[in-house]
Structure formats: structure tokens, C-alpha cells
Structure 1
Amino acid sequence: MGTTRVALLGTGGTIASASGADGQLIARRSVAELLDGCDVPAGISVEPAVDLDRINSWDMDPRRMWRLAARIQEVLAEPEVAGIVITHGTDTLEETAFAVDLVTA
């Protein structure tokens, strides 16, 4: 059996956050940095791994949601991609999931 390919699309959120000089949490870590801290199981390939945004969840807006949905469509059109992981913060996760669900097939 071959390698299972999973895409990783980053929008930021808490998982990508680190404290700035002022102590405030800011989404600053890339998906590559997040992957460096993970043990990807044998037989799984994470590609593409792309930062679409690196924002706090409360900064997610409809324009970014539509761009995310379009990228999801592009990635899922590749037959070798088995699934997608999306990094996203909690403040607007529900709204983004709803919008993406409405516009993707």
C-alpha cells in the first residue's frame, strides 16, 4: 500500500500563536513550523503544506473565507489527496466552516 497524502492549509489561530514582545498572543508560526513539532505517522505525506493566512481568528473575514474555500476546492480536485487539515482559531471557526460548506462541493 502506498503513502496517504494529506494537505495542510494554515490560517493561523491559537495553534500558530506565540507571545510578542508586548506579551500579546499573535498568530505568527507557519505551518512548516507546526509540522516540525509533529511526528507524522509512517505512510502519511503532508503536502501541500501552505500558509493561506497567519491571522488571529477574529480577523477572519468573508474574503478570506472564500479564498480558503477556493483553495480547498483546488486541493480536493487532486485525486491523490485523501484529506485536508486546516489550522484555524476558535473565534470564527463556526462561521468559516459554515461558509466553506456552503460554497464547496
Structure 2
Amino acid sequence: MTHLAPRTAPRRVVVISTGGTIASRWQGTGYAADASGGEVLAQAAVPDGVTVEVVDLFNVNSSSMTSARQLTLLRAVHEALADPGVAGVVVTHGTDTLEESAFFVDLHHDDPRPVVFTGA
């Protein structure tokens, strides 16, 4: 049994927003992660035939990504992939700890659908 959505149906992707530079905006004295996942997604080109569901999980600078937050992120990825209609997951993340979070999720990822990390 495959977990991938049929090609004729629109593909659903879940974007999990965690903050970082990709979600940072000028605060008058510096930048801080405060944009929602929807605000970040509004700057992206979404291909035709793809629908996106945004999960605003965190809105923290990447240096504040703790082990507890990584566990919460892992649970959110698993929850998104529990839906067989989801074609994949994109995690927006700060670059300071993106590698560590991606590695942690990869260690516990056995689903054939992709989990992609991106930052700015």
C-alpha cells in the first residue's frame, strides 16, 4: 500500500513553521522571528495542483531550538504524515540549528514521503 496521493488529485503539502531568519522581520532595533507560516508562504510560488496547509509550530530564533522543541517538531511531522492524503512536509527553520533538527527528524523518519527543511 502506498502513502502517496493519486496523481489526479491535488497534492497536499504540510508546511511546519518554526521561525528563524526565514520568518524574521525588522523590529525597530533588530530582526526577530515573528512572521507566521502563512506570511512566509505568501512570499513563495506554490505550483498549480498543490495545496498547502500551514502549521505554526514555533516562532523562535534557531539558536532557541531546544531538544524539547525538536521532539515537538518530530511529533508534528509524524502527525502530518499520519494523513495518507499528505504528499510531503516542508519545515521552515532557522539555519543555526537546521542541520541538527533535520538530522534528528531523519533518524526517526521511515515514511517514503519526503520531509524537506528550508531556511534563509
> Do Structure 1 and Structure 2 share a fold, with TM-score over 0.5?
yes
Shift of 1:51: 0.8
Shift of 1:35: 1.9
Per the alignment, residue 40 of structure 1 pairs with 46
1:17 maps to which of 24, 32, 53: 24
Q: Which moved more, 1:72-81 or 1:34-43?
A: 34-43
- Counterpart check, 1:28 vs 2:46: no
Q: Which runs of 5+ in 1 are unaligned?
A: none
2:86 maps to which of 65, 77, 81: 81
Query: In angstroms, what is the RMSD of aligned CA positions?
Result: 1.1
Q: Which runs of 5+ in 2 are unaligned?
A: 1-7, 111-120
Per the alignment, residue 103 of structure 1 pairs with 108
Per the alignment, residue 5 of structure 2 pairs with none
- Counterpart check, 1:91 vs 2:96: yes
User: Which structure is richer in relative contact order (CA contacts within 8 A, separation 6 or more)?
Assistant: 1
Per the alignment, residue 12 of structure 2 pairs with 5
**Which 4+ runs in 1 deviate beyond 4 A?**
none
Q: How far apart are the structure 2 equivalents of 1:89 and 1:30?
A: 14
